[in-house]
Structure 1
Amino acid sequence: MTIEQPLAIPDRVRPLDRVLFGDNQFFGVNHMSEERARAQAMRFQTTDAIMEVLDDAIDAGITSFMCTTHDRISEIADRVRADPKRYDGFSFLPCMPYAHKYADAVTELGMLGALRRFLPEEGALNAMLRGGKSIAKKDVAGLVTLLVDAEMAMFRGTRTPVVWLQNVVTDLLLGLGFVDAFAMFADHVRSRYDAEPGFITMNLPMLLPVLERAGIENPLVCANINKIGFRMSGGMDAYHDALEQRPFRAVAMSVFASGAIAPGEAIEWIFEQPNIESIVFGASSRRHIDDTVSLVRRYAG
């Protein structure tokens, strides 16, 4: 039994589940404790360890996995493809580009060398030509679509109803004023992958009017939203105004503020806010997963 989204969504848009499972815990990301992050990175050194937790999430009713395009995710995609019966209905919601991977490659190989490493197999020559042209013209939007094609290759044969633009790139484009890049990303994701484009940001109030200027209607946006304003750039009042007045589909992350808010209090507050479609959370234990699912069912309606 999945936790489905009850909000009224236009027919052309696929509704998200109420609960999305994240991957920070698998790759040593914890915003409050470096020690805990290191311990988690050690625990999840094998794909088997990751799959054990993913299977726990599936058994609890969660079937949407919002993940980066870390190299290890390709191994998870292989497992999902290899057992279609077990993972029937399971969806990846990839977040890209994975900035750390490209930064390391550029440092090691240079820009063109990095592009060659990550080119998609299909149409590699065309991709290289696009990549070279993009570099020559400093065309950031063209590079974004090229890298999306490269990173989507690992998900062939799986369900990917949403493709997210990572906050590092979203907020870079936002700061540089490259409004057209958002529209190009959205059009590319819809036309090439029949998926809904999503945007992850650390500054929701600033991003929404820019997406409106780009012509993206009712955008799917993921941002930190929690009771204490943890990592909510722009301030609580601006977030309240956005949730109440702006037409967009909100996915809340950092709802527990990295453990600073009690789970019941955090979930109850989140679903008291207007326009929250889904939450994304990470967990490394079956108990935490079950408790979160139970709270969402209690407070989300």
Structure 2
Amino acid sequence: MTMDRVLFGDNQFFGVNHMSEDKARAQAIRFQHLPAVLATLDDAYREGIRTFVCTTHDRVGEICDHFRANRTEYPDYVFYPCMPYAHKYANAVTEFGIVEALRKFLPDNGAVKSMVKGGVAIASKDVEPLMQLLVDAEMKMFAGMSTPIIFIQNVVTDLLLGLGMDEAFGLFSDHVRLKYNAEPGFITMNLPRLLDALDRQGIENPIVCANFNKIGFRMCGGVELYEKTVRERQCRLIAMSVLASGAIPPREAIEYVCRQPQIQSIVFGASSRANIQQTKSLIDDMWQTAT
């Protein structure tokens, strides 16, 4: 499949800013109501950005409802779901415990109740049925929407890497391909190590979303290792955090990323149409120059 060069992210809608708590709070306040979120997505759409890379935050369900109800206005709109939304599960586990949290999010039927009774699936490391049910539960909000790529969030990806549970990547890949006719995607803070794990699972030319910027911001292993990785390893890379949360001037940041091999797309978030327009224009221009 061919991904758009420019993708729109959702961090700004949920008060996520890795460099400034003040900016994060301001964004959370600004986007606390759905109309402000939809207006910004419309701004991005008018600038030619057709793909929304989003978590499975409850508010995203409301966004999907809007797009379902207005299909004729967005005939070519695409969602790239990223799951799970870790805070949702962490809060539930804190409040209810692991088993009750699973019951809260999974379908209420006898098979599920049997599986999670006493935490049997977790204790036995029988992750396949649990993973499938969690993915299916998260995907319900995207029913009827175009979701050609489904991502595992970096919190889970990197936890699985740390635990050495490579097989979970293969199970996820098989499930999203068979049930949703989608390609699997993997978000990570450790690109080199993830590619090793995916190689071991026979996942060829994977779609990976990773931080990529010239100062090594949130890049485990550093800039030189990442540059070597994209020169020598095969993957379809989506670059995120290219501006390093504002630490690098936009033109300088985007020029650097567009020069790298195998980077197929850049995902970014912005709060105003002016910033959306500026960033997309820079990406388009720099990629044209690089090619």
Amino acid at match of 1:241: K
The amino acid that maps onto 2:250 is P
TM-score (norm 1): 0.92
Between the aligned residues of both structures, percent identity stands at 60
Q: Are the equivalent residues in 2 in contact too, given 1:94–1:160 (CA < 8 A)?
A: yes
Distance (whole Å) between structure 1 residues aligned to residue 116 and residue 7 of structure 2: 33
Gaps of 5+ in 1: 1-13
Q: 2:134 aligns with which of 147, 167, 171?
A: 147
Amino acid at match of 2:145: T
Report what 1:234 is aligned to: 221
* Structure 2 SS opposite 1:252: strand
What TM-score do you get using the length of structure 2 for normalisation? Answer: 0.95
The aligned counterpart of 1:272 is 259
Does residue 35 of structure 1 match 2:39? no
Letter in 2 for 1:86: E
1:146-195 Cα deviation digits (max 9, x unpaired): 21111001110111111000000000000000011000000001111111
Deviation at 1:106, TM superposition (A): 1.4
Distance 1:291 1:168 in 2: 30
- In structure 1, the residue matched to 2:54 is 67
- 1:94 corresponding residue in structure 2: 81
Work out the CA distance in 2 between the residues paired with 1:250 and 1:131.
36
Shift of 1:107: 1.6
Q: Distance in 2 between matches of 1:205 and 1:256?
A: 21
Q: Does 1:294 align with 2:281?
A: yes
> Which residue matches 1:162?
149
1:138 deviates by: 2.6
Please tell me the root mean square deviation across aligned C-alpha atoms, in Å: 1.4
Per-residue deviation at 1:130?
Answer: 4.8
Quote the Cα distance in structure 1 between the aligned partners of 2:88 and 2:34.
19
Q: Distance between the aligned counterparts of 1:16 and 1:120, measured in 2?
A: 33
Letter in 2 for 1:159: S
Tell me what 2:207 maps to.
220
Match of 1:30, SS state, is: coil
Q: Aligned letter for 2:274?
A: R
Whole-angstrom CA distance in 2 between matches of 1:285 and 1:264: 18
Question: Per-residue deviation at 1:117?
Answer: 1.7
Q: Report the 3-state secondary structure (helix = DSSP H, G, I; strand = E; otherwise coil) of the residue aligned with 2:49.
A: coil
CA distance in 2, matches of 1:16, 1:128: 39
Residue-by-residue CA offset, 1:188-239 (whole Å, 9 max, x unaligned)? 0111111110000001111111110011010000111011111111111110
User: Where does residue 49 of structure 1 map in the other structure?
Assistant: 36
CA distance in structure 2 between the partners assigned to 1:45 and 1:274 by the alignment: 38
What SS class does the counterpart of residue 259 from structure 1 fall into? coil
